[in-house]
Structure 1
Amino acid sequence: MKKIIKTIIASALLSISTPSLAQSETLPSSAFSQLNIVEQPTISPNGELIAAVYNTDGATQQVVISPFGKVDLTTILKLRNQSERIVKLRWVNNERLLVSADYPEHMYGSSRRVGQLFAVNKDGSELKEIKLRKLTDTKDWSWLVSGDQIVSMLPHDPEHILLQQVSERDNYFPSVYKINVYSGSSEKFAPSLQKPSYFIGDSTGRSVVAVAVEDLTRTFYLWQEDAGQWKEIGSYEAFEEDGFTPVLYEPANNTLIVKTYQKSDKQEVWRYSLDTDEWVEPLFQNETYDVASVMEHNGQVIGFGYTADMPEVEFIAPAFKQRQALVENTFKGMNPIVVDFDKSVNKLLVKTYSASGPSRFYFIDLANKAGGLWMALQPALENKQFPAKQPIEFEASDGLVLNGYLINGGDADRPLVVMPHGGPWQRDTQVFHPLEHMFVNAGYAVLQVNFRGSSGFGSSYEARGYGEWGQRMQQDVLDGVAWVKEQQLADVDDSCVVGWSYGGYVSLFAATNTPTQFNCYVSIAGVSDINAILEDTRAGETAQMVDNIMVGDRDSEQGKAHLEAISPIASFGKLKRPTLLVHGTGDVVVPDDQSEAFYKAAKGYNLPVELLLLENGTHSLDSNPNRKQAFDRVINFVKANIE
């Protein structure tokens, strides 16, 4: 069967898997600004349908349904306005879907996205909003509104889920409720701990693990339906002890599956016994990278995800391991990953990744020996020729070995666009991204540096970035530019910095502290005032304590003075080169007043600064109209300032 399915799929790919070898053409920015046509495709348990988020040409998102293996999309749910975004889709059973969504709200001095949950039939009928109770205006609600409060999908109960909710009777702390996804009726499953908490379910739907967060202490409790009470099972102090994050409770063995740094500098996955308080066995270890995800199926761990240069998976369940091997053998050189499957595990969705072109989704039907392309996510960029991202490694000025990526198409004369990533506790990968390749297509080289503080490379690498905003993390990016110049890989004397989120901070800090090193600076959703953003978006005491460690002390006068000193707005008067600020008015991660305040300050002194505000734009600018405006303005700005 493997040979047959491989032949079928290979023949289906002949006309679409290889990019055109014709001379690369210069494309308009609109070709790169389009969001992926679909996101989060998920197969119904019986394998008959695929549900997905559809990004329209307008600003609102839709939920669509398609027969498995066909591109015959039917809309079953439209969001009400452009500020709402779909967070996640889940099949409850073969007939009904759960749709998690959220919208921005500014309350009590803080900006958050407030969660919503809808249930809808596959034909769009019987739409039901499962309302999350809101806190009164006298309470700190910031930990509540995460946008997705589902504790367990209860795989053996097709009409119910376990949901985290709050109640006035529990002093506005969360409890776990059993919810009917048709009627919305609820009954309490597990009571509140009377502490800020979040919950993790098990495969049987009869147990729940609670993680209570108090200051920097993480305490774990177990609720078993038969026992009817919470039992403390462990605790640790964040940043002081090597802790762990529970992923799954295994009631048969009274064990936890956890992600942990206790055994290595890299985050691993272990099985931990609650009976003996001992580490039983490692389930995933990698010498170079942290685990990113733990994959489950029917309450069992089936594999693990991590990111090297490309996303990688390692399945341990035999059936899934076999299927991933088949996929890799079929889609050679396309970095394929099985991303979803039906209950029988015979119908698969595969996502491919490339360093030189957009991703695609393919379908495989093992039972019927069929397969082929389901969806090309960026049609305007299909079969175009783009230079590939190349991994790089170099030493920072203090000797730390750093990594990153360079795209220059083998042409050392290309002007350089420096693109520091966001987070800062994220990382860049080798995966094709439209914004980067918009610059490459226009004739520029692109440099990305995984500066210290980037995540995925172990706890030490990340911790080296704590408290280093505007300092060693900033210098790492400049060291990367110096390395490119030394290696003669691009024209560094004609260059610009373009950053998003924390990357926008890097760009603004460079604009005000190395104001003549680059021709221009672009900040998309960037931070200009650190003290202000910490006050605006992180209201809880625990969040403040975390900020004090990871960003800088904001409790003492000396600490606040330091944060002010490394805030670009404190040095706006040093601005000398053209600087563009782009921000969405619906951004709750970095509010748009961060860009507006910097713009007003600099413009007041007639300094070279521009501002583009995008109505209802989120932090990711994840609507096609907003992206089109932003990408067009950014590329034209860079072209105007780099000859």
Structure 2
Amino acid sequence: MRSLFFICLFLFTSSAALAEQKLSISAETFGQLPKVEGIQMSPDGTRLAMFQSYKGRKTLVTTSLREGEIGPIYPISFQEVEYSWFRWLNNDQLAVSVRFPGKRFGTETMETRFLSMNWNGSDAVNLVKTQRMGAWRSTGDKWASQYQDDVVSFLPDDPDHILLALDSFESMNEPDVYKVNIHDADRSRVVRTRGSINDWYADQKGVVRLGIGYNRRNRERIIYRKSEDDGWKTIAKYDLIEDDIPFVFEQFSSDPNIIFVSAVDENGRKAYYKYDLDAGDFAGKIAGSDEGDVGSLDIDEEGNLQSYHYDGAKPVTVYTDKHRQAIDVFFAKKFPDETVRIISASKDKRKYIVEVTSPQNPGDFYLLDLDKKTMNGFAEKYPGLDHGKLAPMKPVIYAARDGLEIPGYLSLPVGKDPKKLPTVIMPHGGPNARDNWEFDYWVQLLTTRGYAVLQMNYRGSTGFGVKFENLGDQEWGGKMLDDINDGTRWMIEQGYADPDNICIMGGSYGGYAALQAPVKEQGLYKCAVALAPVTDMSSFMFHERKYVGFQIYRHYIRNDELSYDDMSPHENIDKINFPVLVAHGTDDRRVPFDQGEDFAKKMKKEKKDITFLKFEDGDHHLSREEHRVKFLKAVEKFLGKHLGGGAD
């Protein structure tokens, strides 16, 4: 069974090559795209679909476990787009979302398209037809929604249709809801757009019962109806800048009078509650933890809570369903000190796809069959990677200069004396995000080269309570950077870091921090590495003004004591007196490419030590393997030159 699956899933690698494959910690091995990820089984559990890496690109692959179908594998690839996600529509068909960079009215965008196809890739149908552009119909110009994959419901009782939210030229970002035929893309409108409603939600039966809208005055409202026959009423409205948000809608329950919402609990953590729509009040907490914000719920097709997940120092899933609780006990015994997640299940809950991960395990996949009482491993994310040389990740806490406790993770190279090591400080991107206890290919590349790595969840990071997150407001170029620098000093004080051999490295906001944190405290770092960094705050904010939510974003970043120039590496090049490596993709739709390129040009003009990597057609996330490998090789060479170290 194991060998059968192994050969099926790794269709682009021969069994002989797999058998002879040597374990490695090379940049090529770390930089490979995950060979397998996102595995989903069909509702009856007899077919599998997954993403695989093929020729350096993410490719959708399907295969069958049915008698008579075992063996053939179907790669489904596109040349001009990247995959976003897929889902089984039924046992024979898939829904697939793809994305690509575009431009509308002179503004750079990320576009999505949405298709249905047979499980073997045949008979693909673009599920959104273009339409004429309202007042310009006579010109023959066509309109296509920017986001075409906003599925409101997969309609469990109607195998031939889905509900899809689509806007029009007359009502951009305020969509109607359509019932779309998955075979021929014919559609009919079932819910008409209502003033400033941007997102629609359907219950487990496919009835659209809730909408959330945001207007240009920074006000948001939530409308609701109990059934298809009832009228809409507003159940909440608030100012996104001035007001505390009363709750965030999450899911429908089995009771039409009750919805599940998230809100801040008595400990300042994000928790989940029942909300009584008739009473207009909370009706009891259903999920919460003192260790961290609850991040997600698993609700079954009947609207009942199955489990919830939160990230404390390590990730935790709490099962409320007795069936899942029994399975979790088995997992805990079989995979101690690892994270085990069920990522897909058959409709009858007798077959499961299970992913097992840890900082030292990028991911192994298993098929659990309760009827056969078997659990067989069949794939891994990073084949050929030498797990024995990967570093454990230790949760740590240090104090910022104002006394705030900053949680983080320390990774130390295996087999090295943990004293006065060459060190890389690695702030995460976002900044509304967090680092977790998990495999990180950047971190592990560095530890295998002999570097200590500190990742910190500076103030403003998510997952540690609303107060901690709100402390990041208007601190983009202020105390967030202080927290990062305080982490560097903590590494020195604890004896882990060689004070003369420290580099800082990050991507996106982390890339910005890698350039600006050394500006705030000169002499602390020997070098910096920045992927897709914001470098010119004035230019960046001018660019951001074109997008929905700009006023809220501007309020979040603005600091009365710091100008945009004060906050910009581009305007502080006179203080950047250390070697810098910057990399940026030309198709980055989150941080414009010219943020990296213009900074590099100015550095060169000022005769600073700058290495600039341009990734043609590259996005914000190093989605292509060639870019990943090129970046890691450049980092390895750059750090080797300035910090020493290297692979054993």
Given the two structures, how large is their TM-score scaled by the length of structure 2?
0.89
**Structure 1 letter corresponding to 2:189:** K
Q: Does 1:629 align with 2:626?
A: no
Q: Could you report, residue by residue, the CA deviation over 1:307-334 in whole angstroms, capped at 9, with x for unpaired residues? A: 2233321122332333233322332332
Deviation at 1:111, TM superposition (A): 2.7
Partner of 2:479: 472
C-alpha contact 1:220 1:234 (8 A) present in aligned 2: yes
Match of 2:112 in 1: 115
1:225 Cα offset (Å): 5.7
Q: 1:447 to 1:132 in 2, by over 3 A?
A: farther
Partner residue of 2:101 out of 85, 101, 104: 104
Contact 2:315 2:437 in 1 (8 A): no
Q: Deviation at 1:80?
A: 2.6
Q: Secondary structure at the match of 1:527?
A: coil
Asked if 2 retains the 8 angstrom alpha-carbon contact of 1:455 and 1:462, the reply is yes
Q: 1:459 to 1:298 in 2, by over 3 A?
A: same
Other-structure match for 1:274: 277
Alpha-carbon shift at residue 381 of structure 1 (Å): 1.0
Partner Cα separation in structure 2 for residue 170 and residue 29 of structure 1: 48
Kept in 2, the 8 Å contact 1:586–1:617? The answer is yes
SS at 1:124 equivalent: coil
- Change in Cα spacing, 1:329 to 1:68, as seen in structure 2 (3 Å) is farther
Distance 1:39 1:299 in 2: 28
SS, match of residue 389 in structure 2: coil
Query: Is 1:507 paired with 2:479?
Result: no
Per the alignment, residue 238 of structure 1 pairs with 240
Query: What is the identity, as a one-letter code, of the residue corresponding to 2:256?
Result: N
**Residues 512, 573 of structure 1: 8 Å contact kept:** no
Q: Tell me the distance in 2 between the aligned counterparts of 1:291 and 1:85.
A: 31
Q: Does 1:287 align with 2:252?
A: no
Equivalent residue number for residue 155 of structure 1 = 156
Which of residues 378, 384, 391 in structure 2 aligns to 1:380? Answer: 384
Say whether 1:56 aligns with 2:54: yes
C-alpha distance 168-414 of structure 1, shift in aligned 2 (>3 A): closer
Residue of structure 2 in register with 1:486 after alignment: 493
Aligned-partner SS, 1:359: strand
1:434 maps to which residue? 441
Q: 1:326 aligns to what SS in structure 2?
A: helix
- Mapped to 1, the partners of 2:222 and 2:173 lie a distance apart of 20
| Alignment-mate amino acid for residue 85 of structure 2 | K
How far 1:207 moved relative to its partner?
3.1
- Give % identity: 26
Measured after TM superposition, the shift of residue 247 of structure 1 is 1.7
Query: Does the CA-based 8 Å contact 2:504-2:525 persist in structure 1?
Result: yes
Contact 2:148 2:166 in 1 (8 A): no
Please say if residues 590 and 619 of structure 1, whose CA atoms lie closer than 8 Å, have aligned partners that are also in contact. Answer: yes
Deviations 1:377-418 (A, max 9, x none): 011214432221111111111100111011124521320011
Q: Residue 76 of structure 1 contacts residue 122 of structure 1 at CA under 8 Å; is this kept in 2? A: no
**What amino acid is aligned across from residue 625 of structure 1 in structure 2?**
E
Letter of the structure 1 residue corresponding to residue 632 of structure 2:
F
Over residues 206-240 of structure 1, what are the superposed CA-to-partner deviations in whole Å (9 max), with x where a residue is unaligned?
A: 23310011233221112466326432222233242
- Does residue 95 in structure 1 map to residue 92 in structure 2? yes
In the alignment, does 2:80 pair up with 1:77?
Answer: no
Structure 2 letter corresponding to 1:546: I
Matching of residue 527 in structure 1 with residue 530 in structure 2: no
Q: Name the CA shift for 1:183/1:475 in 2 (closer, same or farther; >3 Å).
A: same
- The alpha-carbon deviation at position 99 of structure 1 amounts to 0.7
In structure 2, the partner of 1:405 is 409
What are the Cα deviations for residues 46-69 of structure 1, in whole angstroms up to 9, with x where unaligned?
00112112222333x321113359
Q: Which residue of 1 aligns with 2:336?
A: 332
Farther-moved stretch of structure 1 (592-601 vs 187-196): 187-196
Q: Secondary structure at the match of 2:555?
A: helix
Q: Deviations for 1:143-174, whole angstroms, at most 9, x for unmatched residues?
A: 97456311111122222111101135657730
Partner Cα distance (2:378, 2:514) in 1 = 39
**Cα distance between partner residues in 2 of 1:292 and 1:468:** 24
1:544 is matched with 550
- 1:8 aligns with none
Matched, 1:309 2:313: yes
Query: Structure 2: which amino acid aligns with 1:222?
Result: Y
Amino acid paired to 1:44: S
Alignment of 1:6-405 (within 5 A): 27-59=25-57, 61-67=58-64, 74-81=73-80, 84-131=81-128, 145-146=146-147, 148-168=149-169, 173-214=174-215, 215-223=217-225, 226-227=228-229, 229-239=231-241, 240-250=243-253, 252-261=255-264, 264-300=267-303, 301-405=305-409
- Corresponding letter in the other structure for 1:501: S
Contact 2:134/2:169 (<8 A) preserved? no
**In the alignment, is the contact (CA less than 8 A) between 2:113 and 2:147 conserved in 1?**
no
Cα distance, 1:107 vs structure 2: 3.1
Counterpart CA distance in 1 for 2:134 and 2:602 is 34
In structure 2, distance between residues paired with 1:251 and 1:344: 19
Amino acid at match of 1:307: D
Would you say how many aligned residue pairs link Structure 1 and Structure 2?
Answer: 608
**C-alpha contact 1:207 1:224 (8 A) present in aligned 2:** no
Question: Offset at 1:97?
Answer: 0.6
> Using a 3 Å threshold, how does the CA distance of structure 1 residues 109 and 497 change in structure 2: closer, same or farther?
farther
* Higher mean C-alpha deviation, range 291-300 or range 582-591: 291-300
Task: Give the letter for the 2:236 counterpart.
Answer: G
* Higher relative contact order (Cα pairs below 8 Å, separated by 6+ residues): 1
Q: Tell me if structure 2 keeps the 8 A contact 1:575–1:608.
A: no
Q: Which amino acid aligns with 2:119?
A: K
Once superposed, what is the RMSD of the aligned Cα atoms? 2.6
Aligned-partner Cα distance in 2 for 1:268–1:71: 45
SS where residue 603 of structure 2 aligns? Answer: helix
Deviations 1:82-107 (A, max 9, x none): xx222211111111111111111233
Q: Where does structure 2 lack aligned partners over 5 or more consecutive residues?
A: 1-21, 137-143
Contact 2:48 2:64 in 1 (8 A): yes
Distance change (3 Å), C-alpha of 1:211 and 1:413: same
Amino acid at match of 2:95: L
**Structure 1 residues 188 and 552, CA gap change in structure 2 (3 angstroms):** same
AA aligned to 2:334 is: T
